[in-house]
Amino acid sequence: MSRPETSANHTVYTQSLPLERYTVGWICALPCELTAARAMLDHRHVRPKNQSKHDENNYTLGSIAGHNIAIVCLPEYGTNNAAIAAKSMQATFPNIRFGLLVGVGGGVPGPITETGPANDIRLGDVVVSLPAGQGGGVIQYDLIRREVDGFRRVGLLNKPPTLLRTAVASLRAERRLGRQLTGLIEDAFAPDDECCEDKCDDDEESEGERWTYPSTGRDFLFSPGYKHRSSGADDCTKCMEAKSAGDIITRRPRKTTHPKIHYGNIGSGNSLIKNGLERDKLAQRDSIICFEMEAAGLMDDFPCLVIRGISDYADSHKNSSWQPYAAAAAAAYAKQLVCSITPQDIDSLAPIQAAHYAHTMTKDSLAICWVDARDRSSVELGLSCIAQCVLRSLIVHYGERVAATMFGFSDVTSLLLHGPIPPRTMQGAIRSLKSWLGKKSNSRWLIVFDNYDNIDEFNIEDYIPNADHSRILITSRRPDLQRSVDKAFDISGLDDAAALQLLLSGNRMYKADDTPTCPSVQAVLRKLCNFPLAIVQANAYINNRRLSMDDFLQQYEQQFIRPMSQKPRGPWNYDQVVNTTWEVSLSAIQAENKLAAETMFTCSLLGNTNILPEWMQICIPGIVDCKLHSLLSGFLDKHGKAASAICLKTLDIGRYLAMPAPLLLLFCSELSTCLAWSGWWAFSQILSIFTRQLLCQTQEGIIQTGHLYYSALYALSKGRLEKAEGDCRKLLLVLEKMETTEDLTGSFIKAQMLLARIMTRYKDSPKSKYGYKLACKLVRLIVSAKLYTEYPELLGQVAEYGQMLLSRGDTEGARIHYSNTIHLMMNSGAPKAMTFLWLGKYCGLLFQLGYYPEVEAYLRWMLNESLDTTRKCAILQNLSLLLTHQKKYGELELVARQLLDLERDDISNGGDDGQIIFPTVSLCTALLETKRSTEATVIANESFHLLRKNLGAQNHNIVMLEVFLRKLRKVNQKTQLI
């Protein structure tokens, strides 16, 4: 396991990733828990730049074993704080698949038997939440109901996700797991670690002493009734002095100090358990082996696994000296768990769904239920989640049996278990929900069906409860929906004052004091009908072209006639004013640079966030640099995102790009294939709607094959194997019927390889064996017949077989196969983008296996072959990391200087200023290791002043580099004194 790159008392922030790339959420509650979590990261990333405005969390970002992880520390204890932090995290990181709640807890020592304690839990051990008895892994012990014969706990929290439970089962089979955890802790908190300043501010003892095992002499288990003797002391010195016979429970000494792992129910509540008698009573009642204060707020809405290091025994005695080590042990287990899960396993999970039940259903409040209505599957998923919430609420108040009767649904267990809801269960839950909401006693509710635009695909009325008291709100961009509803409201423009403020706030050409009475400003607002989107678009165009209001009005009048006479043929008919502003902008771009217009069209299909240069290079030949930046900058917001780029779909793009519908659909199909090939599934969903619309306009076979290929790829990415297999077999039938077509042979082999990939995903099935045999046969055919000379893209299909070998666990076979395939790509004229993609994956595998010289050679080859500055910088970053790992500081200096020069040139051309930090730190690291601290200080100082000039003193990149610079100066001073 590798550690975060550190040098000279600083942490190297290796890269800045889009927020959508983070898939694991890590939550902790104490500063020492956060320190332990940071220490377990393989790489640290730059803090998020575009954090949700309602998210007050402070994040640490990084990666472990290829998984991108977002870490947050709670401001205070408690289930509510944990729930708020998790919701905020989901708002900022939309693709979080699961969570890990990692920290310290109070252990429950088992009753003493003849052979020792039943659960021999000691300080420093680790407890993992797994279902046991009647619990699902986490039990909210303070959620109880008074009954005739006393109190009874109610409610059932979700189990951890199946993927995590499977990973835990795999770790349980490890014979030396405790020894491995000790190794991780020692590696992360080695006494000679130069980055200890960043991890701990305790000057009284060294970093290694603070985070390693405190010794068995500090682990005392007192009898449940023996109370702590000094409320102000952090240890039990006075407890030991005042003890009598029987106050300390004698336990057999352990042979090792490695942490032991225990599995079972963890008790969670809003009160801290600090009483041995109460601890034992609750533990016996609910089969609890550990207590903590956050998990109950997460399990239902934030699927996660709880990992607790034991720092005390949930009694009145204090053991603060155990907290750092216990936190480190829990973090080490979390890292080991993450390392046992492959990125492909995580990608198969859907992101955590946002809450669909906005308010608790009480007597005097209105229950507001939000449902995403973009397609049938989203509606059914949303309603089934609402059904889950209603059923849980009823169980809390009435118990499971009565709740099932009241809700009219018998399969309670299947609905409430975490994970995908079976289709039959989902349909039954929806029927029960409609019936429940239709009761006259349930009148305080509102359902919002949002984004119902595909009215031809399904009928929303099928999902509306049949009740006189229904409150239904439907949002749509389809004006023909108005005929089917009781009341329809068109969204009108802003009032005059708000429209004027919006226009002035985004316009750099006019001052606020000069414009309120300016006739041309008022004329522009009247033409735009005060529509917010039209105003924003107009401002972007005016700023980019540096136009006066009069000039814009003239161009607007010229363009207005065209959209009036030729309205969009797409599924939505937007207000004419909005279309006109886009006509003005796109016409100018089309005239100046057709490639830029095609780029914007591609962005409109991909969505309006995180458009990467690599996509443009794959999808549109000829885009090799950032020359389009100045032309497109007027359509970017302050965070660099395309402003409403998706609205380009409403224009007649085919007319602008001179593309008939069949050719346009072929372009979309090829684009979707590139996206699927690159693994960016979330953005490919946008294409599916667009391609389905265009598919209705043509029946040409080649168009149909492209759509079926994409559809099968997308279904495979979501784990819908039967759908993927069906689409792929349809694709093969269509190709067989086509008499002659260009590239038929290559397309047929690609379709067969896709079928092989699908079949291998059927675990422990004859289909899986068939898939591997088919893939092997196709690889031999492509290589032996040298089909790749005529169809170079088939080498990508050959490389896919390496992924299949990896999924089977044949690492050495995959390495050999990748080596042969990469050799063919490099010597056969295969597309550079494809070669670089698979070579990157191969280098990742080689690095994991320790083939560092080979990785370095391949990186240097890519560096020589790459003409794109952005790609060169990425390669140089990877090469710097590799050289740092190998401690080749002489070569690191040369590479870091080259990267720093490129990044500084990029800043002068308007690039990302924050990217200069990595090469600065890398170069300074090399200089420090070669005893040149003065030169390192000069380099860091130059970068600091350049950043401050471009970003301002308060930017977090400035702050981070300033801290690094201060540490460099300290090192330099010490060196001079010596």
The structural domains of the chain, with segments of one domain joined by +, span: 13-347, 367-473, 496-607+618-656, 868-978
Choices 1.10.10.60, 1.25.40.10, 2.40.50.140, 3.50.50.60: CATH for 868-978: 1.25.40.10
Determine the Cα–Cα distance for residues 836 and 851; give it in Å rounded to an integer: 18
Kindly report the three-state secondary structure assignment for every residue of 737-795: HCCCCCCHHHHHHHHHHHHHHHHHCCCCCHHHHHHHHHHHHHHHHHHHCCHHHCCCCHH
Backbone angle region of 201, left / alpha / beta, with phi > 0 → left and psi within -120 to 50 → alpha: alpha
Dihedral angle sign, alpha carbons of residues 343, 347, 350, 351: positive
CA distances for 382 relative to 90, 355, 434, angstroms: 17, 9, 13
Q: Residue 662 in contact with residue 703, Cβ under 8 Å?
A: yes
Using DSSP's 3-state secondary structure scheme, residue 453 falls into coil
Alpha helices in 532-572 (DSSP H): 532-545, 549-565
Tens-digit pLDDT profile for residues 588-622: 666 655 556 655 655 554 444 444 444 444 444 44
Q: Residue 320 in contact with residue 150, Cβ under 8 Å?
A: no
Among 451, 418, 420, CA closest to 350: 420
Determine the Cα–Cα distance for residues 553 and 7; give it in Å rounded to an integer: 59
Q: Which residue do the tokens 């951890």 mark?
A: 160
Determine the Cα–Cα distance for residues 530 and 39; give it in Å rounded to an integer: 53
Residue 577, both tokens: 């004013």
Determine the Cα–Cα distance for residues 450 and 475; give it in Å rounded to an integer: 5
CATH no. of 13-347: 3.40.50.1580
Among 55, 106, 90, CA closest to 267: 106
Identity of residue 349: L
Please spell the DSSP secondary structure of 859-881, one letter per residue.
Answer: HHHHHHH---HHHHHHHHHHHHH
Identity of residue 769: K
Q: What is the pLDDT of residue 366?
A: 64
Determine the Cα–Cα distance for residues 85 and 75; give it in Å rounded to an integer: 9
Looking at residue 375, the DSSP 8-state letter turns out to be S
Q: What H or E segment, with its residue span, contains residue 852? A: helix 852-865
Determine the Cα–Cα distance for residues 34 and 38; give it in Å rounded to an integer: 6
For residue 730, how many C-alpha atoms fall within 13 Å in the half-sphere facing its CB? 16
Q: Is 331 exposed, middle or buried (0-12, 13-18, 19+ CB in 10 A)?
A: buried
Tens-digit pLDDT profile for residues 427-444: 888 888 888 888 877 777
Residue 464, both tokens: 């509306």
Please spell the DSSP secondary structure of 149-181, one letter per residue.
Answer: TEEEE---PPPPPHHHHHHHHHHHT-TTHHHHH
Q: What H or E segment, with its residue span, contains residue 145? A: strand 144-147
Taking residue 933's Cβ as centre, other Cβ atoms within 10 Å add up to: 21
Q: What are phi and psi of 209, to 5 degrees?
A: -65, -35
Across 944-964, b (16+ Cβ under 10 Å) vs e yields bebbbebeeeebebbebbeeb
Helices then strands, counting H and E runs in the chain, come out as 38, 18
Using DSSP's 3-state secondary structure scheme, residue 398 falls into helix
154 contact partners, CB below 8 Å, separation of at least 6: 143, 144, 145, 395, 396, 399
Identity of residue 928: L
Q: What is the pLDDT of residue 436?
A: 84
Among 57, 66, 128, CA closest to 91: 57
Q: Residue 313 in contact with residue 171, Cβ under 8 Å?
A: no
CA distances for 411 relative to 134, 301, 395, 475, angstroms: 17, 21, 14, 33
Among 44, 50, 32, CA closest to 6: 44
Determine the Cα–Cα distance for residues 666 and 231; give it in Å rounded to an integer: 75
Q: What is the pLDDT of residue 209?
A: 60
Q: What are phi and psi of 336, to 5 degrees?
A: -60, -35
Residue 937, both tokens: 């200080």
Q: Residue 297 in contact with residue 77, Cβ under 8 Å?
A: no
Regarding beta strands 144-147 and 150-153, do their DSSP bridges make them parallel or antiparallel, or are they unpaired? antiparallel
Using DSSP's 3-state secondary structure scheme, residue 615 falls into helix
Q: Residue 681 in contact with residue 718, Cβ under 8 Å?
A: yes
Instruction: Mark the ranges of the chain whose per-residue pLDDT is less than 50.
Output: 1-10, 116, 145-152, 154, 192-205, 353-364, 418-419, 561-575, 605-660, 662-663, 675-686, 688-690, 693-694, 696-700, 740-743, 978
Determine the Cα–Cα distance for residues 524 and 717; give it in Å rounded to an integer: 47
Determine the Cα–Cα distance for residues 887 and 880; give it in Å rounded to an integer: 10
Q: Residue 100 in contact with residue 305, Cβ under 8 Å?
A: yes
Across 428-467, b (16+ Cβ under 10 Å) vs e yields bbbebbbbbbeeeebebbebbbeebbbbeebebeebbbeb
Among 184, 223, 238, CA closest to 36: 184
Determine the Cα–Cα distance for residues 224 and 246; give it in Å rounded to an integer: 11
Among 866, 914, 875, CA closest to 898: 875
Q: What is the pLDDT of residue 80?
A: 78
Regarding beta strands 43-45 and 13-15, do their DSSP bridges make them parallel or antiparallel, or are they unpaired? parallel
- Rounded to the nearest 10 degrees, the angle between the axes of helix 532-545 and helix 576-592 is 20
Model pTM? 0.42
Taking residue 508's Cβ as centre, other Cβ atoms within 10 Å add up to: 9
Q: Residue 127 in contact with residue 266, Cβ under 8 Å?
A: yes
